[in-house]
């Protein structure tokens, strides 16, 4: 993969501006935490694992220009930075899990001075970055076993290189299958309102010469009814301890349709997307975004002025509709509450 | 209702150009059959009942300028006109049923001369136009009994005044409920790729001061899971003799989701939308439209150049997922094969 979604370059976090894809490829160099916060909020960088890494880099950006050795002032800035980044987007738990990892660097080194903490935070962010690269490839390695020659796969939103550092979760499975020389094809749901499927997933898959067909989200049911889908892979933004999984709006629709048509439905997500503090998906906060994402397109209004809009960015798929969850440790299967606990209890 | 979707005005069929709504209200005056064919093809006029009326007016446009009394030449022109109009769009059976009604005018009057046939065709087209107005209001009268105070209704595409002469099928039920003073609200699915829900349905419902909320199609499942939908009404483009119903792509998705969530799912369609010559929905031809409907928006490309696209304009909802079919004769309920036969066998 040659897509470098987020990378630390000479004191800045360089991100691909995903709002411009597929027709413009531009980088944004985040040199301060506010620029990173805005990049997350505006979806210039998106995808649960990627915004986890972005948050870690955001912490480094927030504290790196701190002058002096006054630890109280440093901790105040550090805490404010973490809190600020936590307000960017509510649903993906990777962001909060990665912020917790950054906080742990400070909490577990109470004797460390300011320069040592700055250095340790920088190292931790780089290790989070590297872990994402490794973990995505591990998930691909487990998920690839599910793809048989000739399979027609379906996915929604972008769970690819652009949703992670450089490889992907659900789409990482496709890349692993491609690397193994398997023959398969992919239907990509366009993913309204912001068309991450059309803009980002098709762009990535076509670059990898994977046979890709774009559909509108409302065509998935018809496709399944005509036996053109063999397996479904999606990412996740937060998985509760019972296996309920929040992901891009429309994912739950696919899960219900998959059950109706007897099609296996897999979630592909790293450990950083699990939230063991919550019992079920009912506790996952669902971000509602602005109405103009639905009513405008490329600056053109497509609905009557003043129409009411409901625009949740995510939905929750109950565990009972999920065939398996592909993680870096292997594929977790039902009963999820028991098996998720067994896998992650000690972390 | 003050929307006059299609109307005969001084020797021309005047239609509202629905491709321009909601922001521009413009008429197209069709003075020849080719202009009408293009208007149907380009969806300037759309909706099964409306294109049935458009086809009838199209026949009149095709023959009205015929000079002389040579019946052989007249019949050649008449047949060519009917055949030409039949190539505009394949799925909605109203178009073919209305063309058959026009053909019957000629077939049942073998002795009539050219002037008498021209007059009779004009009268038949006007009677088709009037029948649509009457039948829509009758469907509204039957369907309104299904709406209870406080209900949250869901619909897709446009099955309103703009899909008929001036009142609607599924949305006609809402207008009848409004006229009776019932309190209810409507969620409108935007209906990708051409956004008839966002552009047309919201425009119509807001003009009638009906509480309307726009959603993306992929949000319907989440809405149902959170118990925000009490009943679903959709139109139909062709209903087979076993009750299978073709309608705008996404309708089948709603029917599966409705069944999963225990929500009643009603189709509202006039007799002209039934095709008793076919046994099941498998025999309904599904129009596939151009890929740029999916990959472009307001002239802006939204997907990588050259991506493959699957763009069926309709899907088929099997009868077993339909709670009832509201017609001008009342609500037809399962078993559909038997009850549809009983209702229409003598027509």
3-state secondary structure A119-188: HHHHHHHHHHHHHHHHHHHHHHHHHHHHCCCCEEEEEECCCEHHHCCCCECHHHHHHHHHHCCCCEEEEE
Q: Distance between the two ends of chain B, CA-based, in angstroms?
A: 30
* Residue B298: per-residue pLDDT: 77
pLDDT at position A165, please?
A: 98
Burial B63-91 (b: 16+ CB within 10 A, else e): beebeeeeeeebeebbeebbebbeebbbb
Q: In B119-192, which ranges are E strands?
A: 151-156, 184-189
Calculate the alpha carbon distances from B339 to A63, A71, B275 in Å.
74, 81, 14
DSSP string, A71-136: HHHHHHHHHHHHHHHHTS-SS-HHHHHHHHHHHHHHHT-TT--HHHHHHHHHHHHHHHHHHHHHHH
Would you state the pLDDT for residue A345?
76
Helix (H/G/I), strand (E/B), else coil: B326: strand
* Mean pLDDT in residue range A76-80: 98
Which residue of B154, B198, B216 is the best one to mutate when testing the A interface, meaning the one whose CB has the most A CBs within 10 A?
A: B216
Could you count the other beta carbons within 10 Å of the beta carbon of residue A347?
A: 7
Burial of B27 by CB count in 10 Å (0-12 exposed, 13-18 middle, 19+ buried)? middle
**Domain boundaries of chain B, sorted by first residue:** 6-137, 143-344
Q: Give yes or no for B256 touching A (CB within 8 A).
A: yes
Q: What is the CATH number of domain A143-344?
A: 3.40.50.10470
Q: Does B297 touch chain A (CB under 8 A)?
A: yes
How confident is the model over B280-331, as pLDDT tens digits?
Answer: 999 999 999 999 999 998 788 999 999 999 999 999 999 999 999 999 999 9
**In the prediction, which pLDDT does B76 show?**
98
Q: Reduce the DSSP state of residue B36 to 3 states and report it.
A: helix
Whole-number Å distance between alpha carbons of A2 and B282: 45
Is B275 assigned a catalytic role?
Answer: no
Amino acid A1: pLDDT: 59
Which pLDDT value is given to residue B347? 66
pLDDT bin (cut points 50, 70, 90) of residue B1 is: low
- ipTM score assigned to the predicted complex: 0.96
For residue B345, what pLDDT is reported? 76
Cα separation of A334 and A330, whole Å? 13
pLDDT above 70: residue B335: yes
pLDDT 10s digits, B234-276: 999 999 999 999 999 999 999 999 999 999 999 999 999 999 9
Span A166-186, average pLDDT: 98
Nearest to A216 among B198, B294, B308 (CB): B294
The rounded radius of gyration (Å) of the Cα atoms in chain B is 20
Q: What is the spatial distance between Cα A188 and Cα A220, in angstroms, rounded to a whole number?
A: 9
Residue with tokens 């050649």: B76
- For residue A298, the model assigns a pLDDT of 77
pLDDT 10s digits, A216-241: 999 999 999 999 999 999 999 999 99
Residues above pLDDT 90, as percent of chain B: 97
Please state, as a whole number, how many other Cβ atoms lie within 10 Å of the Cβ of residue B175.
23
pLDDT of residue A347: 66
State the pairing for strand pair B245-248/B238-240.
Answer: antiparallel
Q: Which of residues 26-85 of B touch A (CB under 8 A)?
A: none
Helix axes A114-143, A93-107, angle to 10 degrees: 140
pLDDT of B45 > 80? The answer is yes
Interface touch A214/B309, C-beta < 8 Å = yes
A6-137 and A143-344: identical CATH topology: no
Residue of B nearest to A198 (CA): B303
Q: Is the dihedral of CA A253, A255, A260, A264 positive or negative?
A: positive
Q: How far is CA A253 from CA A126, B214, B256, B309, B316, in A?
A: 37, 17, 10, 21, 18
Q: Do B221 and A250 touch (CB under 8 A)?
A: yes
Q: How many degrees, rounded to 5, is the angle at CA B221 between CA B217 and CA B223?
A: 95
Q: Does the domain made of A6-137 have the CATH classification 3.30.70.60?
A: no
pTM over cut 0.95: yes
Rounded distance, CA B11 to CA B101, Å? Answer: 21
Question: How many other C-beta atoms lie within 10 A of the C-beta of residue B57?
Answer: 29
Residue B299's pLDDT is what? 83
Phi/psi of residue A65, nearest 5 degrees: -90, 5
Does any CB of chain A come closer than 8 Å to the CB of residue B213? yes
**Tokens 């008793």 identify what position?**
B276
Average pLDDT over residues B123-150: 98
Is the CB of A315 less than 8 angstroms away from the CB of B249? no
* Nearest CB neighbour to A213, from listed B198, B297, B310: B310
- Per-residue confidence band for A299, with pLDDT thresholds at 50, 70 and 90: confident
The pLDDT of residue B295: 97
Whether residue A297 and residue B300 make contact (CB cut-off 8 A), yes or no, is: yes
- pLDDT higher than threshold 70 for residue A295: yes
Phi/psi class of residue A299: alpha, beta or left (left: φ > 0; alpha: ψ in -120 to 50)? left
Catalytic residue among B94, B237, B244, B315: B237
Are the C-beta atoms of residues B85 and B95 closer than 8 Å to each other? yes
**pLDDT score of A289 more than 80:** yes
Contact A297 B295 (CB under 8 A): no
Q: How many other CB atoms sit within 10 Å of the CB of residue A65?
A: 12
CB B141 within 8 A of CB B179: no
- Give the distance, in angstroms, between the CA of residue A46 and the centroid of all CA atoms in the same chain: 6
For residue B221, give how far its alpha carbon lies from the nearest alpha carbon of chain A (Å). Answer: 5
**Residue A339 burial by CB count (10 A; 0-12/13-18/19+): exposed, middle or buried?**
middle
The rounded distance, in Å, linking the Cα atoms of A269 and A170 is 8
Which positions in chain B touch A260 (Cβ < 8 Å)?
Answer: 256, 259-260
d(CA B194, CA A41): 28
Q: Which residue in the list A132, A217, A230, A237 is annotated as catalytic?
A: A237
Which of B217, B223, B310 shows the shortest C-beta gap to A192?
B217
Mean pLDDT of B127-142: 98
Yes or no, beta carbons of A303 and B214 under 8 Å apart: yes
In angstroms, the CA B122 to CA B319 distance is 37
Percent of chain A with pLDDT over 70: 99
pLDDT beyond 90 at B346: no
């Amino acid at each position: 993969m040659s897509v470098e979604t987020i990378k630390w370059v000479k004191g800045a976090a360089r991100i691909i501006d995903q709002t411009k894809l597929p027709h413009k490829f531009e980088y944004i160099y985040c040199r301060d935490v506010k620029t990173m916060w805005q990049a997350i909020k505006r979806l210039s960088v998106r995808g649960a694992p990627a915004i986890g890494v972005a948050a870690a880099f955001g912490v480094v950006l927030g504290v790196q220009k701190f002058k002096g050795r006054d630890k109280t002032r440093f901790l105040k800035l550090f805490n404010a930075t973490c809190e600020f980044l936590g307000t960017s987007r509510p649903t993906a738990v990777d962001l909060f899990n990665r912020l917790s990892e950054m906080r742990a660097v400070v909490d577990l080194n109470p004797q460390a001075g300011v320069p040592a903490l700055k250095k340790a935070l920088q190292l931790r962010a780089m290790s989070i970055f590297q872990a994402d690269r490794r973990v995505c490839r591990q998930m691909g390695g487990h998920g690839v076993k599910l793809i048989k020659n000739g399979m027609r796969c379906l996915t929604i939103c972008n769970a690819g290189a652009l949703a992670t550092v450089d490889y992907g979760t659900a789409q990482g499975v496709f890349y692993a299958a491609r690397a193994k020389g398997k023959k398969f094809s992919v239907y990509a749901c366009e993913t309204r309102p912001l068309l991450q499927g059309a803009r980002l997933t098709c762009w990535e898959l076509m670059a990898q010469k994977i046979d890709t067909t774009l559909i509108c989200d409302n065509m998935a049911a018809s496709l399944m009814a005509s036996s053109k889908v063999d397996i479904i892979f999606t990412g996740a933004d937060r998985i509760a301890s019972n296996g309920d999984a929040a992901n891009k709006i429309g994912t739950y629709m696919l899960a219900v349709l998959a059950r109706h048509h007897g099609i296996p439905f897999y979630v592909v997500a790293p450990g950083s997307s699990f939230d063991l503090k919550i019992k079920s998906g009912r506790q996952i906060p669902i971000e509602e975004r602005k109405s103009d994402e639905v009513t405008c397109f490329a600056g053109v209004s497509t609905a009557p002025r003043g129409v009411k809009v409901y625009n949740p960015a995510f939905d929750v798929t109950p565990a009972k509709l999920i065939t398996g969850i592909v993680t870096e440790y292997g594929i977790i299967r039902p009963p999820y509450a028991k098996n998720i606990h067994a896998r992650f209890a000690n972390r």
